[in-house]
Amino acid sequence: MLTNSSSRACLLVLLLVFNGLNVLAQTASTTQGCVPLEVTFTPPAGASSYFWTFGDGATSQLQSPTNTFINPGTYTVQFATSAGGAVLGTVTISVYPKPIPTFTATPTEGCSPLPVQFTNTTTLSPGITITGFSWVYGDGGLGSGANPAHTFSAAGLHYVSMGITTNLVTCNVTQVYPDHISVALSPATSFSMTPNPAAACVPPLLVTVNNLSASGPGIT
């Protein structure tokens, strides 16, 4: 006597034989990545009709459809030969939020030449690992590694661009932080005295000293 589960299994086998399918698993061009994640699906060999349910509300009757997942989550994509028909197989797609490269910079302002230490603080979803870093500094300098140091010589406001390369190409991203480092010219100290020369034969000698030092923004 067949159980309910055995009956369902036999029915599925008969359905596959009836449709003349060579039972091979449906495939996906990728099974994980970051939003927006575009995935192309391929049906089992031998299928002559197609119905895909992507798990995000979208469906398709194309043989090899492409679906773009725009929200993070885990999606079970189902393949059947018709709407409402028996599900012949599934593919699980893991979709992650796009990472945002972040860092700390110490210090962020000062006089030229200004040495700055950068420290990576990027947080990642499970399944994503960083394989490389690229840095571009607003003074034309370049850097690499998670925690580089750079000395800014030119005065002004400088952007910092941080890029990360990951094990998933769709999760590679670059973030630009405008006007992140403020560099001022070192002050040029100078003064004048009245009288000049400051000399007298009989004390007391009253001398007025006038500051003529040049300073950049942020120097008081």
Written as six digits, the tokens of 70 are 């725009």
Same domain (yes/no): 156, 88: no
Residues 105 and 181: beta-carbon distance below 8 Å: yes
**Consecutive H or E run containing 16:** helix 4-19
Residues 151 and 90 in one domain: no
The whole-number pLDDT of residue 218 equals 52
Q: Are residues 92 and 15 in the same domain?
A: yes
CATH classification at residue 61: 2.60.40.10
What residue numbers bound the domain in which 19 lies?
Answer: 4-96
pLDDT at 24: 56
Distance CA 69, CA 154 (A): 45
Identity of residue 117: Q
What's the pLDDT score for residue 14? 40
CA gyration radius, the chain: 33
Give per-residue burial for 134-160: e unless 16+ CB within 10 Å, then b. Answer: ebbbbbeeebeeeebebebeebbebeb
Note whether 125 and 146 are same-domain residues.
Answer: yes
Instruction: Classify burial at 52, counting beta carbons within 10 Å of its beta carbon; exposed 0-12, middle 13-18, buried 19 or more.
Output: buried
Q: Which of 152, 214, 208 is nearest to 188 (CA)?
A: 214
Any domain includes 150: yes
pLDDT at 20: 41
Write down the pLDDT at residue 113. 97
By C-alpha distance, which of 136, 141, 101 is closest to 119? 101
Regarding whether 141 and 86 lie in a shared domain, the answer is no
Of 62, 96, 130, the position where a domain reaches its end is 96
Q: Is residue 69 domain-shared with residue 118, that is, in the same domain?
A: no
Q: What is the pLDDT of residue 10?
A: 43
Positions of the chain with pLDDT under 70 = 1-24, 214-220
Residue-wise pLDDT for 28-39, tens only, equals: 999 999 999 999
**Six-digit token string for 61:** 């009757």
pLDDT at residue 44, rounded to an integer? 94
Count: domains in the chain: 2
pTM reported for the whole predicted model: 0.75
What is the per-residue pLDDT for 220? 59
Regarding whether 118 and 92 lie in a shared domain, the answer is no
* pLDDT of the residue at 48: 94
